[in-house]
Amino acid sequence: MSGRERGSGGAAALDFTPAPGAAPFPRMVLAQAGAEIRAMLRNGEQLLLTLIIPVLLLVGFSLAPLIDVGGGRRIDFLAPGVLALAVMSTAFTGQAIATGFERRYGVLKRLGATPLSRAGLMMAKTAAVVAVEGIQAVLIVAVGLALGWRPQGSFLGAALLVVLGTAAFSGLGLLMAGVLRAEATLAAANLVYLVLLGAGGVIFPLSKFPEGVRPVLEALPISALTGGLRSVLAEGAALPLGPLAVLAAWAVVSLALVSRTFRWE
């Protein structure tokens, strides 16, 4: 050994002798999912969309008699709508914006050079979305119960709606992120969030809209999710087949388009 001095910091000798190998698939996916969850929870704008706005809407509109929910208690109408909004904010808006910028910053490209496969990356993203939705659900349900919400119906039906809703919104978000520029995705995803918040039965009942546009509104994924969750949690339905079919159709079409159009670079 030449006894050449290492830089400050007293770094241990590093053995660069090649020893290549991929980590086990579940470990890679978990590591990436953890990074995605931390990124989501660290991002202030995203927390505003995913946690703060839904909770404020829930509290504000259930306490103040600003809207006519067409009979029944306001909180029983609002809580399922806000849950649907939470799913949309994470699976669609947050995911579209984050993925758009990851593409722009070359993160997707760089990850493509690691042993984490694209399928693994998509699984990690999905796991992260589901984990954040879990946090949202706990918070919204807790606030809702505190406000006197009395949910009923089948947990399984609600869970199935959330799963299909997540798939549909993820497909739409990734479709947008994979085609548009990052800035355009940012603008469009926020706009769509606002429009669907207003026109998707989240806090304003669809029955208040003119007869003519209602079939169009009812075909939106957000309306299917709000309507479906309401019929389970407020009316005690077991499996709302109509909304489930609408969500499944959006999921299949959007994810098929994603797989054909998504650009990683």
Partner 1 sequence: MAMESPAVEIVDLVKRYGGTTAIDGLSLRAERAAVTAVLGPNGAGKTSTVEICEGFRAADSGTVRVLGLAPDRPELRPRVGVMLQAGGVPPAMRCGEWLRLVSRFYARPLDSGALLARLGLSDHVRTPYRRLSGGQQQRLSLAAAVIGRPELVFLDEPTAGLDPQARHACWELVGELRQAGVSVVLTTHHMDEAERLADHVVIIDRGRVVAEGTPASLTGAERQLRFRARPGLALEELLNALPAGSAAKESPAGHYIIEGLVGPELLATVTAWCAAEGVTADDLRIERRTLEDVFLELTGRELR
Sketch the per residue contact string, 12 through 31, with partner 1: x for CB under 8 A, - otherwise.
x-xxxxxxxxxx---xx--x
User: Which residue, 114 or 259, has its beta carbon nearer to partner 1?
Assistant: 114
Ordered DSSP codes for 68-112: --SSS-HHHHHHHHHHHHHHHIIIIIIHHHHHHHHHHTTHHHHHH
Q: State which residue, 16 or 210, has the beta carbon closest to partner 1.
A: 16
Work out the burial of residue 15: count CB atoms within 10 Å of its CB; fewer than 13 is exposed, 13-18 middle, 19 or more buried: exposed
CB nearer to partner 1: pick between 110 and 208: 110
By beta-carbon proximity to partner 1, the closer residue of 117 and 154 is 117
Contact at 8 Å (CB) between 143 and 53? no
Q: Which of 26, 35, 159, 195 binds partner 1 (CB under 8 A)?
A: 35
Q: Residue 76 or 102: which CB sits closer to partner 1? A: 102
6 vs 150 by CB, closer to partner 1: 6
Find the shortest distance in angstroms from Cβ 240 to partner 1. Answer: 38
Which amino acid is present at 141? V
Q: 63-92: which residues touch partner 1 (CB under 8 A)?
A: none
In one-letter notation, the amino acid at residue 24 is P
What sign for the dihedral angle of Cα 8, 10, 16, 20? negative
Give yes or no for residue 2 binding partner 1 (CB under 8 A): no
Q: How many CA atoms lie within 13 A of 222 on its CB side?
A: 29
Q: Judge contact between 177 and 103, C-beta under 8 A.
A: yes
CB of 35 to partner 1, least distance (A): 5
* Minimum distance, C-beta of residue 31 to partner 1, in the bound complex (Å): 4
Per rule CB under 8 A, is residue 3 in the interface with partner 1? no
DSSP H helices in 89-220: 95-104, 107-112, 118-146, 155-179, 182-199, 214-218
CA–CA separation, 101 and 99 (whole Å)? 5
Map the footprint of partner 1 across residues 87-126, applying CB under 8 A: 101-102, 105-107, 109-110, 112-117
Which residues bind to partner 1, rule: CB under 8 A?
Answer: 6-12, 14-23, 27-28, 31-32, 35, 38-39, 42-43, 101-102, 105-107, 109-110, 112-117, 265
